[in-house]
Amino acid sequence: MRLRFSRGVITIAIIVVVLAVGVSVGLHHLLKKVTPVAVPEEYCRVTTPEGALDLFPEQAQIAATIAAVAARRTLPERAVVIAYATALQESKLQNIDFGDRDSVGVFQQRASQGWGTKKQIMDPVYSANKFFAALVKVKNYRKLPLAEAAQAVQRSAGGYAYAPHETDAKILAAAFTGRVPRALHCWYPASGKTPAPRPEAAAARKQLARALGSTAITSKRRGWLVAAWSVAHAGKYALNRVGYGGATWTNSYEVEGWQQGGQAGSRRVELS
């Protein structure tokens, strides 16, 4: 027995088939389109056995500069910890041009108190040198409680406020002094994928030399200090890769941290 369908039923069936095919084709093309992943803003992250911290790139640059100045002065890690705790309290580790009365800079030093001119104090290399020059004059500063040592330099109205920053300061010091290798990762979306030209890499080394003095790598710890400084300043100098000790940092938010491979030696930090 043969079934007969009216013209209306056949028309409806055709419409349903056409709609189904249209929806299927539309879904196919929709699924083929990859939804763009939101690119994160620039950031830096320190990861050490002592803990982890997220930083703005400016904070990482200043932390790296302070560690380099301390290395030039051959100061112990304890001096760096005291400096970091002080800077975290005074400016949140930022080079600000305002503060109480005439206080400015990373350590909120005052021109009226003999720290230098405002222009000098706003130079992190200069201000770090001035801080350490005062710190080493504090008797037994290495053995003093952190807040006491910092207060002896700063003579702040609230010297007790430095102590709560000691844990974070130790994390930063472990990374930026080079004691913990591969501790700093940063991402700079504005740097792009074009390798830095030679003049940019040369400018980075020149700026490093202002803080560190000789950029020669005389130990693995010094090498990792230079590597951390380079990563912290990579956005400023359009660096996309830093290689040292058989590991490479790449400016990519998809690659977290340092990866094996690259410059294997321990006598030079490669920048590109």
Domain spans of the chain, in order of start? 43-271
Smallest Cα–Cα separation from 112: which of 74, 96, 121, 32?
121
> Of 112-126, 182-196, 213-227, which range is least confident?
182-196
CB distance 181 to 230 below 8 Å: no
Place of tokens 């340092």: 258
pTM of the model: 0.84
154-169 exposure pattern, b = at least 16 Cβ within 10 A, e = fewer: bebeebebbbebbebb
3-state secondary structure of 94: coil
CB distance 80 to 67 below 8 Å: yes
pLDDT digits 0-9 by tens, 53-62: 999 999 999 9
Overall residue count recorded for the chain in this entry: 272
> Of 74-83, 120-129, 173-182, 246-255, which range is least confident?
246-255
Please give the residue that has the higher pLDDT: either 51 or 264.
51
Residue 168 pLDDT > 80, yes or no?
yes
Find the distance separating the first CA and the last CA of the chain, reported in whole Å: 81
Task: Give residue 152's pLDDT band: very low, low, confident or very high (50, 70, 90).
Answer: very high
Please give the residue that has the higher pLDDT: either 65 or 10.
65
Per-residue DSSP letter, 144: S
What integer pLDDT is reported at residue 98 of this predicted model? 92
Task: Give residue 157's pLDDT band: very low, low, confident or very high (50, 70, 90).
Answer: confident
Residue 25 pLDDT > 50, yes or no?
no
Please give the residue that has the higher pLDDT: either 18 or 26.
26
